[in-house]
Structure 1
Amino acid sequence: MSTMDICVVGLGKLGLPLAVQFAGKGHRVTGADIAPEVVRAVNEGRPPFPREAELAERLKEVVAEGLLRATTDTAEAVDGAAAVVLVVPLVTDADGVPDFSLLDSATDAVAAGLRRGVLVSYETTLPVGTTRGRWAGRLEEGSGLVAGRDFGLVFSPERVRTGRVFADLRRYPKLVGGLDARSGRQGAEFYRSVLDFDPRPDLERGNGVWDLGSAEAAEFAKLAETTYRDVNIALVNQFARFADRCGVDLAPVIDACNSQPFSHLHRPGIAVGGHCIPVYPKLYLWNDPHATVVRAARAANETVPAYAVGLLAGALGTLAGVGVRVLGAAYRGGVKETAYSGVFPLVEALREAGARPYVSDPLYEAAELAALGLPPYDGEPVEALVIQADHPEYRELAAADFPGVRVLLDGRRVTDPARWAGVRHLVLGGGG
């Protein structure tokens, strides 16, 4: 496929690296976003968010070469494009019902600028059947065109992790599923022209673009792989509770299990956060309410922050009036993002236990934490620490850094117990 004009709708932590990747292959890319500050930053060649490997240098280069520009006018950006890729957030409410409002608006704007022959690809993770059952009709109604005949329509899920998007784009096969066979072929051809792939001799089908045959199969694949992770984590979190009761350290048990090729146990952790694992099982359950294993796993993972607070209370005798400093507001290390972060239920559980919680994070200023409803740490005396996020800075911490602290609960197993002499060092599944 020759050089083409591409529109990427949604310039967030996944959409912007995609736009930069496409432009880096020599294509002319217009990124559309509803946030003027994001558009301004992109047009100035600077990332609107930190710590995405390769992004700053690559963004600056493609903007300087005139291969990438940004706009708030989605319909204008779509008009003239040969391919449109949507990476707009989809979240669920407390009952697991998806909120399609942002994607509905983006789809309507795409439809307003849609022309014959264009490929439309949704990369936002969706419930099975959404591409065909929701987006096809909405695009047709807004454009007067027929999906599969006048324009191609595919679902192609993002399979990357923030902080390492470009590396993941190279490493993992790109899954594509079309509304029909012609759309599938069009989508596969498009992604082969805009992505690079590292060799993967471990994959029977090789690394590259995999056409799964239907949009539903591609939607299902994304939900299945992320839901598996949630169920796996729930299992090891329950193993951790049993290990604490019977006095066994779970870490060497997991290592032993995983030495056999049929076992792939994850590691227990104080919380499951981010846009993916806490959300996508709910998108799956929305269509499959009979999936009792998935529902039980999601519920089990949501109880871990309170369980961790119980371990802390047991070590101190009581948490009433005790100052506790939580290290890490982010949902995982190295990423400035608090979506579904465990810090929120953790702080709530500490308060319910009578503690005085404070939060610090190397990526957040005190005012930013306060804006999130988190009490920022400002030198108050504390007797306990809880590591909630596995920031690399925490690996070198030691007891000498925290005078007066009696107990450390390392919820991510990132600290060296030898550096914490005189402080009780607790981990999930450590055997008590």
Structure 2
Amino acid sequence: MRDICVVGLGRIGLPLAVQFAAKGHLVTGTDTDPETVAGAAAGRGPHAADAELDELLAEAVADGRLRASTDTTAAAAGADAVVLALPLDIGPDGEPDFQALDAATDAVAAGLRPGALVSYESTLPVGTLRGRFARRLEAGSGLVAGRDFWLVASPERTRTGRALADLRHHPKLVGGIDPDSTRQGAEFYRAVLDFDSRPDLPRINGVWELDGAETAELAGLAESAYRDVNIALVNQLARFADRVGVDLDQVIEACNSRPHTRLHRPGIAVGGHRVPVHPRLYLWNDPHATVVRAAREANEALPGYAVGLLEGALGPLTGVGVRILGASYRGGVRETGNSGVFPLVTALRAAGAEVSVSDPRYTPGELAALGLPPDEGKPAAALVVQADHPEYRDLGAADHPDVRVLLDGRRITDPARWEGVRRIVLGGGA
């Protein structure tokens, strides 16, 4: 049994803390937000959590295997393994915002004890663990990384709403600042994780020991960059399909009939904590990554393209009511991290539209607190589906009798339900 400190109780850290506790380890989860700590200490998961996470969290707290605190230094002092699970975001200047991770690192260093393992689950630019955080940990603790404590990068690979399942399904990548750190990190994760049987690919599941921290860092970035590039490709194909009158859905189905082709689906925006952010972290220290840069720029242009589609159908949008369905960055979750709703609202307002937003997972007051104009029932000539919430599948013209144009940015609506309304989909050949 291990004593583990998990720093950050958000979408990455809380599932990790619950998983470690479920394996019988003693876990202290820390966070700087007192509300988050109080919720975790009471066994209450966030609204974005899945049912499995909520159940296991309540059990771990009741059994005393999981505690929560705002004192990271004290928790680190009592731990033989410290896992930092804070997301690294992009600042207003387009560069990584290290403020939160720097502060967490300093708090860990103040309590770090000899022989401990420190693992960064955050996705980091290549060279950050060795060049930045190893130095901060050494300066704050008086210990030497690779001699007095072990240090690894193990980028998270989970999605909101199914984090525990993803921890079981995907191999755990571990790379240390030296071979001993890598071995210690791999041993730790083998002791705290469970892995599903994979009869289709039985050899890949489990813990993967990589050559070093930089290899793990680049792997974390490359996953999101690959997805961003793939999405950018289909989004550009969708725009071309619209110009030449081709239904891209048939093209994608035809191409994906070959096993080595896996085109994604076009969408009105690319949101979430990973895909819009990690390519920017990669670009930060690889100025030659022209493909990744072009993909990011192409995906960021989609909200503007959506506005152009509406203008093509309705004419100038000045004073025109536009109702957006979905504040979440993807369907089925209550999470607005880097959601496409924000640039979409900005682009529509710039075109003069009167914009409103609704989402079945948010109250009007919560939307307003996010800076989004809540739907107040005012007439709207256009409806835009931004998130593919399952509730939107059954919507039809009768539910929005004022709407003349539907822009389904996720291809989730049923065309038969929208008779009398011009329905536009990305790549639909309109």
User: Which bracket does the TM-score occupy, shorter chain normalised?
Assistant: over 0.9
Displacement, 1:94?
3.9
Which one of the candidate residues 394, 399, 402 is aligned to 1:401?
399
- Partner residue, 1:121: 119
Q: Is the 8 A contact 1:13 1:49 kept in 2?
A: no
Q: Counterpart of 1:428? A: 426
In structure 1, the residue matched to 2:40 is 42
Contact 2:406 2:423 in 1 (8 A): yes
User: Which segment is superposed worse, 344-353 or 374-383?
Assistant: 344-353
Match of 1:61, as an amino acid?
E
Contact 1:96–1:283 (8 Å) recurs in 2: no
Corresponding residue number in structure 2 for 1:250: 248
For residues 227-250 of structure 1, give each alpha carbon's deviation from its aligned partner in whole angstroms, at most 9, with x where no partner exists. 010011011000000000000000
Q: Distance in 2 between matches of 1:99 and 1:320?
A: 37
Deviation of 1:95 after TM superposition, in Å, equals: 3.9
SS of the residue 1:217 aligns to: helix
Structure 2 match to 1:17: 15
Counterpart of 1:278 in structure 2: which amino acid? P
> How far did 1:348 drift?
1.5
Shift, 1:371, TM fit = 1.8
Distance 1:373 1:417 in 2: 32
Compared with structure 1, are the counterparts of its residues 334 and 51 closer, same or farther at alpha carbon in structure 2 (3 Å cutoff)? farther
Match for 2:183: what amino acid?
A: R
Moved more, 194-203 or 111-120: 194-203
Q: Deviations over 1:145-171 (max 9, x none)?
A: 110111110000110101000110110
- Secondary structure of 2:269's partner? coil
- In structure 2, list runs of 5 or more residues that go unmatched: none
**Aligned residue in 1 for 2:170:** 172
Partner Cα distance (2:365, 2:31) in 1 = 26
Q: Which amino acid aligns with 1:274?
A: G
Equivalent residues of 1:123, 1:158 under 8 A apart: yes
State the secondary structure of the residue aligned to 1:30: strand
Return the offset for 1:51. Answer: 3.7
SS at match of 2:135: helix
Spell out, residue by residue over 1:5-45, the C-alpha distance to the aligned partner (whole angstroms, 9 max, x if none): 10000000110011000000000000010011111111111
Secondary structure at the residue paired with 1:425? strand
Matches within 5 A, 1:186-225: 186-203=184-201, 205-225=203-223
Q: Which residue of 2 aligns with 1:141?
A: 139
**Aligned-residue offset at 1:213:** 1.6
**Distance across 2 between alignment mates of 1:93 and 1:65:** 40
Residue identity opposite 1:118 in structure 2 = A
Out of 54, 57, 60, the position equivalent to 1:59 is: 57
Matched, 1:107 2:119: no
Give the C-alpha shift of residue 363 in structure 1.
1.2
2:332 aligns with: 334
Could you tell me how far apart the structure 1 residues matched to 2:135 and 2:203 are?
Answer: 33
Structure 2 letter corresponding to 1:331: Y
Cα contact 1:39–1:72 (8 A) shared by 2: yes
User: Does the CA-based 8 Å contact 2:272-2:329 persist in structure 1?
Assistant: yes
* Superposed displacement of residue 200, structure 1: 2.2
The whole-number CA distance in structure 2 between the counterparts of 1:155 and 1:53 is 29
Aligned to 1:346: 344
Equivalent residue number for residue 311 of structure 1: 309
The CA RMSD over aligned residues, in Å, is 1.1
Query: Among the aligned pairs, what percent are the same residue?
Result: 72
TM-superposed CA distance for 1:317, in Å, is 2.6
Moved more, 87-96 or 273-282: 87-96
CA distance in 1: counterparts of 2:199 and 2:342, whole angstroms:
42
**Residue type of the partner of 2:332?**
G
Unmatched 5+ residue regions in structure 1? none
Separation in 2, partners of 1:373, 1:27: 41
Distance 1:143 1:169 in 2: 31
Q: 2:181 aligns with which of 176, 180, 183?
A: 183
- How many matched pairs? 430
Q: Could you tell me which amino acid in structure 1 is paired with residue 90 of structure 2?
A: T
CA shift digits 1:309-340 (9 cap, x unpaired): 11111112332221110001111112222221
Counterpart Cα distance in 2 of 1:318 and 1:144: 64
SS at 2:119 equivalent? strand
How far residue 261 of structure 1 moved from its aligned partner, in angstroms, is 1.5
CA contact (8 A) 2:48 2:160 kept: no
Deviations 1:119-175 (A, max 9, x none): 000000000011111111111111111101111100001101010001101100000
State the shift of 1:203 in Å: 3.5
1:204, CA displacement in angstroms?
A: 6.8
Among candidates 284, 287, 292, match of residue 285 of structure 2? 287
SS for the counterpart of 1:253 is helix
- From 75, 78, 82, the equivalent of 1:77 is 75
Q: Which amino acid aligns with 1:374?
A: L
SS at match of 1:29: strand
- Report the Cα distance in structure 2 between the residues aligned to 1:34 and 1:173, rounded to whole angstroms: 30
| Aligned residue type for 1:386 | V
Distance in 2, Cα, partners of 1:68 & 1:408: 48
Structure 2 counterpart SS, 1:54: helix
Measure, in 1, the Cα distance between the counterparts of 2:368 and 2:140. 42
Match of residue 410 from structure 1:
408
> Is the CA contact 1:407–1:424 (under 8 Å) kept in the aligned structure 2?
yes
SS in 1 for 2:29: strand
Give the residue type in structure 2 aligned to 1:268. P
Report the AA paired with residue 41 of structure 2: N
Alpha-carbon distance in structure 2 between the residues aligned to 1:320 and 1:218: 49
> 2:230 is matched by which residue type in structure 1?
N
**Does structure 2 retain, via aligned residues, the 8 Å contact 1:53–1:165?**
no
SS in 1 for 2:254: helix
CA distance in 1, matches of 2:151, 2:173: 14
The one-letter code of the counterpart of 2:77 is D
Structure 1 range deviating more: 302-311 or 328-337: 328-337
Pairwise CA distance, 1:199 = 1.7
Partners of 1:127 and 1:219 within 8 A in 2: yes
